[in-house]
Structure 1
Amino acid sequence: MPENSNGPRSDSATPRDPASAPGPTPLELLRTPPPKERADAARNRAAVLEAAARLFAEHGVEGVSMDQIASAAGVGKGTLFRRFGDKSGLATALLDAKERTLQEAILHGPPPLGPGAPDAERLVAFVAAYTDYLLDHLELVRMSETASRGARYRIGAYRFWHQHTALLLSRSPDPAVTAHTLLAALSAEHVTAVLAQVGEERLRDGLVRLARAPA
């Protein structure tokens, strides 16, 4: 990893020179890819996701059935289940675009979330940005992370968050373990459990303090 006066730096922390590094970085390879599909499948997907987002906003994730979503989207129930499996699959699909937006900001956006700031500052910026994303979509993230045992750690986006966090923690004795430990505090199940007790402001402040601690 390259180094500067702030210590070892992650690949994602330093802008790439396209002439000297034409290939994607390891972190870019973990970025959630947009779906590739036929035009008719893309239309059906868009209709389902629009209907699901609207119904979830109106009634809550738990208050909406797959039958209601299929009806609102104008697609067959079988099509919906084949494409998304269940509501956790729908939740993951709804979050994909929002995750890609955050990933793009991390990879190519302005500092401190994007490249160009010291790793410690980037880590705090990431935790703050992820906390905002999580609180805005808490029900959906919780459903996607708890669909089955260990589901959170099999989601492609988690591998991206973990790799990014570990790179920013490269000066710690064990960056991979420290990154998992920090991300544990950002799990939707944990945040849901404590949010009612501490409120959003205290939760944000506590998570930012936690992000500063490893530095």
Structure 2
Amino acid sequence: IRTFTTKSFPMCPTPNPANCSPGLDPTDAPDRLCEEGQPLVSNFSRKTHILILATTRSGSSFVGQLFNQHSDVFYLFEPLYHVQYALIPKMPQNKSPSERRVMLGASRDLLRSLYDCDIFFLENYIKPQPVNHTTDKLFRRGASKALCSYPVCDGLGPTDVYLDEGDCVKKCGSLNLTLAMEACKDHAHVAIKTVRVPEVNDLRALVEDPRLNLKIIQLVRDPRGILASRS
């Protein structure tokens, strides 16, 4: 089972009958985990970008916290909240297709920037706008372990444990986005949770972006369960 780790996985080539034409290497095929005694080839994977996509009341917060607890993962909770509330007041209630494209374009641009650890890009949507890259208005900052731990949280030391969400807001003070950016770069993977992308097809541009190594986890729940959870 492959898990998130800073270590590379031992991989080995798999013979592929489709590559048995003259002049082609029959071992030129997708990698697989090696069995004992087979030659090893290191698989140094690049940073993984994870998007947890769901509708509300579908368990996305729980799944997000599973990633959040991993020491190699930099996790952000609903950063697209800021896009939604920065742009929606400027749009009519019945949004046209062109206005919807504006929302989706802004959301995709923000996701791409965050996966590249460009946290400053969020400043375009946080209200009031951060001063000197510092803000206390990041939505649910306390839901991110990385943002509530040393050195991003100046109220904690290197040996202090991660704070609960409520304590994080009280003890950590304003969020220094410069420190948040550095923390993001220090983590091996970036995970983002959102319920603000209507369809997975809207993310095609990100999936096809060669600069990203995007993995999408789409959660689907029986609508009867969603309805029951609201009662």
After TM superposition, is the score higher than 0.5? Answer: no
Greater strand content: 2
Q: Which one has more relative contact order, counting CA pairs under 8 Å at least 6 apart?
A: 2
Scaled by the length of structure 1, the TM-score of the pair is 0.30
Greater helix content: 1
**Higher alpha-carbon Rg:** 2
